Each structure stands twice: as structure tokens, then as C-alpha cells.
Amino acid sequence: QVQLMQSGAEVKKPGASVKVSCKASGYTFTRYYMNWVRQAPGQGLEWVGIIDLSTGGTNYAQKFQGRVTVTSDTSTSTVYMDLSSLRSEDTAIYYCARGGDWYSTFDSWGQGTLVTVSS
Amino acid sequence: EIVLTQSPGTLSLSPGERATLSCRASESVSSPYLAWYQQKPGQAPRLLIYDTSSRATAIPDRFSGSGSGTDFALTISRLEPEDFAVYYCQQYGSSPRTFGQGTRVEIK
């Protein structure tokens, strides 16, 4: 079955960077896309960006342009999200979520990674 | 960006009752790219409905989706105890993909 296993919780200081990983299993990695979605404490869902796992092409929400980089390692079926210049408002649970195309629903989700930004 | 507004914010109902959740878009959603997700406390969201009205794998038929253009709805025909949760709509036809703010379905 499809599994997306994310890395553990992180605590960072303002201005620092964080890299969250998402290891996929149970399906052919490069046939799909991976999205990143975040959820601030007690808040709704916010889309961060997407990567085409066959080409490495990416697309990011304008809000995060210049601060986020999503990459993948096909040899380990792992996707990474790197977020820089962290501020307190970036405190959130970050989820990876599989998609079937550039424009598709998110049919499987990781368990989430809590990133806390605090001085 | 397409803004999705869900109503009501909270729906208080009893098990066995019918729930109707609304999702209104600020502009027309590229058809049929509207989805619904369910989220329970401490869990990741789960896909319920895709392409406006198609049920995802293993989703019971008491869940149904409808709508077009700017007005969409999720209906739960008879609430089961496990259905009390937060529900989000999402449009995925244009970038950025956007979500509604959520509707909480709580036990009355």
C-alpha cells in the first residue's frame, strides 16, 4: 500500500532554514507528483508547491517563491522541502501529499512534520 | 487566486441526520476540479471526493458531492459517529491550488 513517511519534528530559530523529507513506498515513485501542504496551529490547509517526480520540474505558490525549494531523489524515493528565512508565521505542520498530475487531487498524505520557529 | 469560502463554519447535528456543506468560489472553478477532504484531530486530511462528485477509494456512498461553476456541496446522507470531523473543499484546476477554511461537523 502507498506510504509516505516524513521526517521528525524540527525546532528552528528565526532566519534559519529547515529541510523536511518524505519517503515514498508502495508505488512507482516517478509516475506521480508530490505536493507540500502546510497547516498552522488550529488553522486551515495551505498549498506550498509541487514537484513532477519524473522530470524534477516544480511549481510553487507565489507566497513562497524564493524561499522554498522542493527536490527529489529517485534512488531513495524521497522528496525534500527546503524552506529558508524562517519566521514565526512558518510554524506549522508540513504534509507531503501525492498527486497524479500537475492538476490533480492529493490521494495519499504523509503523517505530517511539525516545524516550530521560535527564538 | 481562487478563494474558496465554506459555510457554515460549524454544523451541529446528531448521528443519523443529514449534513450539507457548502463551498463557494470567488471565480469559476475549472471543471470538474473540486475535491473534498476530511480531517480528524491529530490526523492528516483524507480524500473523500474528487472531480466534484467522484468518491475516492473506500469512501462510503453516504458521502456525495455536487455542483459546478462557483457553487459546490458535500452531502453526508446519514451521519455516522466517525463522520464528526472538519471538512475542507479544494480547487485544483488552477495555481495556486487553494482550500476553503473548513467546516466543522460536531455532535449536537
pLDDT digits (tens, 9 = 90+) for A28-47: 999 999 999 999 999 999 99
CB contact set of B99 (below 8 Å; sequence gap of 6+): A44, A45, A46, A47, B4, B88, B89, B90
Cross-strand pairs, B7:
B22
- Measured CA to CA, the distance from residue A53 to residue A77 in angstroms comes to 9
Residue of chain B minimizing CA distance to A112: B44
B100 and chain A in contact, CB less than 8 A: yes
Residue B56 has pLDDT above 90, yes or no: yes
- Measured CA to CA, the distance from residue A99 to residue B95 in angstroms comes to 14
Q: How far is A18 from chain B (nearest CA, A)?
A: 21
Residue type, B3: V
**A97 touches A50 (CB < 8 A):** no
Residues 53-112 of A with CB under 8 A from B: 59, 61-63, 95, 97, 99, 103-107, 109-112
Nearest to A110 among B44, B90, B101 (CB): B44
B56 and chain A in contact, CB less than 8 A: yes
What's the whole-number mean pLDDT along residues B61-82? 97
Nearest to B101 among A44, A59, A109 (CB): A44
- The answer to whether the CB atoms of B100 and A44 lie below 8 A apart is yes
CA distances from B70 to B5, B22, B26, B80 (A): 10, 11, 7, 29
Residue type, B36: W
Q: What's the pLDDT tens digit per position in B20-33?
A: 999 999 999 988 89
- Measured CA to CA, the distance from residue B30 to residue B78 in angstroms comes to 30
- At residue A41, the pLDDT reads 96
- The answer to whether the CB atoms of B90 and A104 lie below 8 A apart is no
DSSP, res B97: P
pLDDT classification of A97: cutoffs 50, 70, 90? very high
pLDDT classification of A12: cutoffs 50, 70, 90? very high
Cross-strand pairs, A108:
A98
CA distances from A102 to A61, A77, B2 (A): 13, 19, 17
Residue A68 has pLDDT above 90, yes or no: yes
What's the whole-number mean pLDDT along residues A3-27? 98
Q: What's the pLDDT tens digit per position in B78-91?
A: 999 999 999 999 99
**A75 touches A90 (CB < 8 A):** no
- At residue B101, the pLDDT reads 98
The separation between CA A109 and the C-alpha centre of its own chain, rounded to angstroms, equals 10
Q: What's the pLDDT tens digit per position in B33-50?
A: 999 999 999 999 999 999
- Measured CA to CA, the distance from residue B55 to residue A115 in angstroms comes to 32
What's the whole-number mean pLDDT along residues A73-81? 98
- The answer to whether the CB atoms of B96 and A106 lie below 8 A apart is no
